[in-house]
Amino acid sequence: MKIKRVETFLANSGVRNYLFVRLTTETGLTGVGEASLEWQEETIETLIREWVERRVVGVDPFDIEAVIGDMIRDQYQGGATILTAISGVEVAMWDLIGKACGQPVYKLLGGRAHDRVWAYANGWYGGAQSPRDFARRAKDVVASGYRALKFDPFATAWKEMTSVEMDEAEARVAAVREAVGPEPSLLIEVHGRLSVRRAIEMGRRLEKYRPALYEEPVTPNSIELLKEVKEALPLPIGAGERLCTLEDFYRCTRMRAVDVLQPDLCHIGGLWIAKKVAAMAQAQDIQVAPHVSIGPVALCAALHFDWSTPNLWLQEDFSQYDVPWRNDLVGGWNPSRQGEFMLPEKSGLGIELDVDACRAHPYKQNTFPSLWDDRWLSEFTQKDKQEDD
């Protein structure tokens, strides 16, 4: 079996654009992947056309280690953009492999390792600013079945915060905890906003609300700073979505700079690299919780990883707080049910791309706002913007 054709399809999803990849073999078998990266989808599409396509046309999709490994080696300069292009093709190759074998991808990655895979909700707090806004929306999230939810209470903070800003952030967390009660897990997202000193101070203030994770309290590009915060606080520390290379993940796990590692398999080279990252984390008694803030193919791929990975903790879920047409973009399997994910049963990833639905929602340039722009507070999800309107 050889890959004959590489196609890309852009689709808009409110504040995001999704870039899907489809591979076709000479036998007519198709495999889908996703190569979405905020602000850079057209650039990645160009990279796929300019470089990745000629590296995969004519190859056997079963040759993951050689084909993807050689591309990661040969791209030379590195970075999330080219690795996202490679990841999109890698995931599509696994979809082809699964279909050719008549098996779900998770069975080829190690088989079922869990009885259940739980989700934590994200994207639910778009547009919320006051503690009351956060509390009201958090209650709705828990009522829908989620046992865990993540949110960023820090507005547009950068490095330092005034005493008033710290009070406001704590008030949002306090309001959410009071609204949902003692049981649901709260994951506090910081988006790498704070200095070490301020991250430690805020962590101590938030300890009483029992956060299950304090995510990216400082810049994730400095693993040494992450470890400094981890050693100063009794809170579980998470990071990893902005690490790209196997070497970065090795340093992070070797230093035990986090309690929960959050690789984004669509930005690090795909599923096979993600399994290697998980194995390194497992050896250091670190759990993994894949980051997935993009589209339905990326989520589906992460779930196959999840079901087959022993040290999985939770899986991020934006799917219930995306645009209404999200599920139109792919068909075959809707994995989310009341805060947990269903086991995929169909061969491959278990989904197929709807090209007409993608065309019905064309690409829009620069729709995702900066996290240090006030617009992100009111336009975090298109769904919430429509509701507020």
Tokens of 75: 């791209």
Tokens of 366: 């620069």
CA–CA–CA angle 314, 369, 224 (5° rounding): 55
Q: Which of 277, 360, 276, 368 is nearest to 322 (CA)?
A: 368
DSSP one-letter code for 256: T
Provide DSSP, 164-186. HHHHHHHHHHHHHHHHH-SSSEE
Q: Please tell me whether residue 207 adopts helix, strand or coil conformation.
A: helix
- Residue 287, phi then psi, degrees to nearest 5: -85, 165
Q: Which of 12, 32, 30 is nearest to 21 (CA)?
A: 32
- Where do we find the tokens 């049910």? 337
Q: Please tell me whether residue 89 adopts helix, strand or coil conformation.
A: helix
Asked if 315 and 303 touch (Cβ cutoff 8 Å), the reply is: yes
Angstrom distance (rounded) from CA 245 to CA 268: 6
Which residues are catalytic, by number? Answer: 191, 291
Angstrom distance (rounded) from CA 162 to CA 216: 20
Dihedral sign for Cα atoms in the order 161, 39, 137, 204: negative
Strand partners, 17: 12
Angstrom distance (rounded) from CA 188 to CA 197: 17
